[in-house]
Structures are given as C-alpha cells and as structure tokens.
Amino acid sequence: MKKITQFTLLLFFSTLSVQAQTRSCGMVAHMEEQMKDPEFAQEWQENQAKFKAQVFQSLSNEQRQSSMNPIVIPVAVHFPSGLESDRACLEALAQTQIDILNGDYTATNPDANLWDTASPFYPNSSHGVANITFCIATQNHPNNTDNDLVEGGPAVTIGYNFGGGADSDSAWSGYMNFLVKSINGGVLGYSPLGGSIAAGQSVVMNLFAFGSGAGCPNSGVVPGAPYNLGRTVTHELGHFYNLNHIWGDGGCNVDDGITDTPVASGSNGGCPDPGSIPGCVAGEYEMSMNYMDYTNDACMYMFTQGQMDVVDNYINVLQSQFKPNVTSNCGTPTGPDFSITATNSPIFSCPTTAEDAVFEFDFTALNDYDVTTSFSAAGLPENASVSFSPPFISGTGTVTMTIGNIANTAVGDYTITVTASSFVASKTVDVLLKNNCTSIQCNSFSSDDNLNISIPDGIGANEYGDAITSIISVPDLGTLSSITANVDVTHSYIQDLVVVLYHPDQTTYAILWGRDCAGENGFDVTFSDEGSAITCADPTVGTFAPYEPLSIFEGMDTAGDWTLLIQDGYNDDTGVLNDWSIELCTEAPLSVDANPIALEQVLIYPNPSNGLFNIEVESMQSTDLKISIYDVRGRIVFEERYNNNLRFEQTIDLSRVNSGIYIMEISDGKNSINKRIIKK
C-alpha cells in the first residue's frame, strides 16, 4: 500500500495554498496565447476601437442604457463530453446558469441585499445594473453540429466536438457560446478580454465550475464548492464583455479602468468581510465582493454601475454580430409546452417482498399549456404491471407511476422510459428500477471521542507546518454510493487549515476544508455534496458542501483505513482535532425475513399519506415491537419501541419529514418485515 509521505504532503499543500484561497482564472494566459494569432489580434483591435467610439457616443449623448429596452443575448451551451442520455439534466443545468447570469447582471440575484451592509465602506460605488437579458437560443440552430438539436428547442449541444477541440467555432458564430469541458491545471475558467460573437468565440468553464445544484454526475458536470453557485461564468463573461480584474492584473499602480471600483493591490480569495481589506488609496477598501475578484462564489454578489456601463457599451458593439432571427425568439417557446422530471429515481425493489415500486414525477405546464396529456412506459420488467395516477393531466401537478406484480419479475436493473404525450408535444424521461433485493444502507464510523490531537502551527505566511493524520478502519460493506464526513476542530483563525479525506487506497482524496472562512474560531462541520456553501460563524457549525466533491469516492470499495489529514498553512494560530466520523452508504441486500412467523399480518393505511400512518399488526406472541423508518439512502428518520399485546395499533406521525418514499421496518426482535410507504 502506498504511504502518505511528509514530502508529498508538503509539496502538494504548497501548491494548494494558492488554490485554496483564490479562484483560478486563465484569462491572462489565454489572451497572451490568442494574441499570437494575427486574425484574432486584428479583430480584437477593431472591436476595441468600436467600443471606445461607443463609450464616447454614450457619454456625449448622456444616455443611460437602463432607459432603453433590454438587449436579449442568445446563448448556446456546449458539453463536448456530455452524454446524450443525460440531455434533460444538462439542459436544466444550462438553464440554472442562465438564471444566475440574469440575476447577477441585473442586480436581482438572491444575495444582492448583502450590498446594503457593505455599501457604507464604498461611498463612491453603487450596485450596477446592465441593460441585458440572457436566454438559451431556440431558433436557427446551425446544421451539421449536434444531430439531436431540435429547431425550437434549446441550443445545447452534447457530445459535439466544439471547434475541433478549440475554443471558437465558426458554425456557432452569432451566439454567446458557453463551453463546458475539462481544463488542465484546475483552472476554473477563462475567456478572451473583449470577445467576438462573430468569430464564434466562447467562454470556457471547467466541469466543476458551471451552474449550481447537484449537476449531472453521469456526464461528469458537477458544481464543486466553493465555486458551485455559477459565479465562475459571471466572472469570465465579464472578461468577454471587456471587464478586467479589479486589481487590473498589476497592483496598486495598475487600475482596472473603472472609476467606481477602488484601486486594489491584488486578488482576494476566500470570504473576507466587506471593508476588511484596506485599498491602495488611504480610506478606501478593496471590493472583495465584486464578481471580478477571486473570492468564493457565496461571497461575491455585485458589479458596480461603472462596470455595467462598460458591459452595456461593449454589448452595443457586439449586437450587430448576433445571428439574425435568433434574438427575437430566444428563450421563448413557440407555443404551449410542458416539462416532466422524475423526483425519486432510482427505486429499489425485490420480487421476494413483492412491494410495488412507486415513482413520482413533477409535471409543469409552460406558456399556458392546457392540453390533455397521457402517459406510457417502456422497458418494464417482464410480467410487471404499470399504472399512472392520474392517468391524464393538463396542468401543473404531480404524477405517480406504480410498477406492480413485482413478485413475478426477474431480478435486475431496469431503465424505464416514461413518455408524456399530447397532440401538442411529447417528452420522455428515464427512471431506474433496481429490482435486485437491495437498498441503500448507511453505516457510520467514528474516531475516538476527545482525540485532542494537536495541530502543529504553520512555519510562516502560507508555509505549512507538519501534518497530522487520524485513521478510521472500515470493514467491507460493498461499493460506495455516497459518503459524508464530520470534522470537529478547535482552532483560532480557521482559514489557516486544510483538511483532506483519503480513501484507503491512499491515493484518492477529497479536500474537505480548503482554507475557508477567515478569523473565526473552530468548526464542527458535516461535509456533504448536498450541503450548501459554507456559512462562516464563530464557531462554524452545520452541514456544508466540501471544498472538493466527495463523489470522487463513489463506486469505490469501503474496506480499509480511511485517513483524515490536517495541516496548518499559516503561523501564529494553533488548535486540536477533537473527533471526526464518516457515514458510508452502500447498496446492500435487504434485511427482510422471507417468512416472518411472528408477524402474521401488517396493515398500513392510508398509504400514500400526508404524514399520519395507521399501523395494525396481528402477531402470535406479545413481544414488544420496534418500528424503524428509513429514507431511500438508508438513513433513519424515525425509530420507536412499543408494547405489543397480540393486537397492535399505532399511529405514526411523519408530518415533519420531506415528501418521498420510505421503508418502514417492523421487528419483534427475531423477525422483521419491510413495507414501503409514501409521504405526500
């Protein structure tokens, strides 16, 4: 087994000290390379000349763009390594990014109100609003690109080799192109400084720096904290529209060219408080919350009006380059339409238990859609039955699909294609039935309590001290489906710390805490890919997304020594590791007795229910009963013991748990039976 050596740790974390604190934008290097191309350089200079003329005209006419009709920008999004089977997910992810941009560039983002608290530190600045609207183009898609593009559908290419591997594609001239692909070196993204629509140039983002939410894991596009709120695209798109970094890529002697952004000495990473970093001019503060800085996504939330004036003027230059007849129809369905999404796939089932498998779908009517829509399913297990409730729908609502007669089906995985169709439109969505007599079962493993392991201090500014490690040994539970980790640390100035979780192979790792927050003291954090961005406090407590996704461990074995490593990258502050734990979820056989002799009859009603479930059990003995309820990941949401006198009746209240499908296990100590219940 490969051992973690002190040398490799120090070498690795010396590099991380920069990456953990600052985002990595490749704009400068990209421009240096692109300007070697004479055609690129000539067009860039022409666009810059037009931009300067536009600025002069705007000033001389004393017009503000906000008084005009917004300019609609047609967007095309490209996923060269995406899977066509993942189209619905990738299209939805693309739309989340468009929604983020529309908020960020018009000051309607959900966190825009944070400027109210910060603004007193920046009396010469105002929260800027651009005169633009982004939407995914739906008309005039180019031929011979992605064969699965549908005229009238969103301009999202999947598996198409955009530009032959380059960052511009003449076939997509006239669109604002977003290219989502793997970028070497961990760079989040890059863009030309002053881009060209006519040349089909693109803003390029790494696979973990596009959109927000869970992403599309099957296609490898998964937003990763702390850059998982879509602000990388906001930042790089600013470059495309001629905005420089707030420090002008120089320092105090180099301005960014914007009058209402304070002169900055350099980039700021992490999540500094507003007004906490003195600027280059006495009495001013660096604008770390500006989208053109390098802070975490959750800690940048505004452009200045001066920046938005630059954007508006540059887009006026580009407007003539937009493809004809795209803008007028961009993002607007040609007529009534609908969407359908699955909310609880996969479902686990077993012929032995013969419980029905119930899938849920959200049906959303769009643009006044009011047409009777029916449902069908293909890919079912042989002998299975299927029914939909309701069988028809014409407006927004929830539809359930029940797969029955499971007892007469064969074990296996089944991809079921559900089709919703009417005379207006037809859509499909795939769900997965894992009919293998398994379920997702989660097991927790903890270190000893009160470890009190001292964390050696750093030896200088961004110079790491010795690393500490702690090990939790885990048995063979099977193949990992998901993992969460909790780490409890007492330490002053927690931004000094890097915390890393290593798989037992001692090679695969995920950074949990990457020099996050600032001068707060201590944290007790559960790291989960489903968590929100870190909210710094004193101490920092809660469930948050890790610095790097824990999904890197999915599909790996559980057995062996899981190692937690902590290293301090700055001197003057010390602390201790109190304890830590991991929860490993795997797909494992159902623990169901095929012939429970003591539990003769179990009745649960109503099912589905709004939260109150009545349980009646007839048994042959008066042994006490334990009722445990698990979610689809195997986590306990309810557990209680009850006295039993042969005839057992009890009402269980699940009104406080989320809607979804759960497994209820009823056990008398020797025998148990599992029942599937649905909370509406």
Pairing between β-strand 426-435 and β-strand 412-421 as defined by DSSP bridges: antiparallel
Q: Quick one: how far is CA 653 from the chain centroid?
A: 32
Q: Residue 403 and residue 343: Cα distance in Å, rounded?
A: 16
Catalytic residues: 236
- 95 φ, ψ (degrees, to nearest 5): -70, -35
With residue 453 as reference, give the H or E element that holds it. Answer: strand 453-455
Taking the C-alpha atoms of residue 619 and residue 13, their distance in angstroms, rounded to an integer, is: 61
CA 213 to chain CA centroid, nearest Å: 3
Q: What amino acid is encoded at 154 in this protein?
A: P
- Strand pairing of 347-348 and 426-435? parallel
Nearest to 230 by CA among 39, 23, 51, 385: 23
Task: Choose among 201, 199, 200: nearest CA to 190.
Answer: 201
The single residue listed with the structure tokens 């359908």 is 340
Tokens of 454: 């001292």
Q: What is the 3-state secondary structure (H, E, C) of 374-423?
A: EEEEECCCCCCEEEEECCEECCCEEEEEEEECHHHCCCEEEEEEEEEECC
Phi-psi region of 159 (alpha: psi -120 to 50; beta: other; left: phi over 0): left
As a residue count, the chain comes to 680
- Give the 3-state secondary structure of residue 433: strand
* Cα–Cα dist 506/588, whole Å: 25
At 130, list the tokens: 């651009």
Could you tell me how far CA 194 lies from the centroid of its own chain? 29
SS3 42: helix
User: Residue 415 in contact with residue 428, Cβ under 8 Å?
Assistant: no
Integer Cα distance of 129 and 89 in angstroms: 30
Q: Are 543 and 525 in contact (CB under 8 A)?
A: yes
Residue 463: partners with Cβ closer than 8 Å, 6 or more residues away: 569, 570, 571
Separation between Cα atoms, residue 584 and residue 568, nearest integer Å: 27
Q: Is the dihedral of CA 135, 138, 144, 145 positive or negative?
A: positive
Return the ∠ at Cα 624 (arms to 619 and 625), rounded to 5°.
Answer: 75
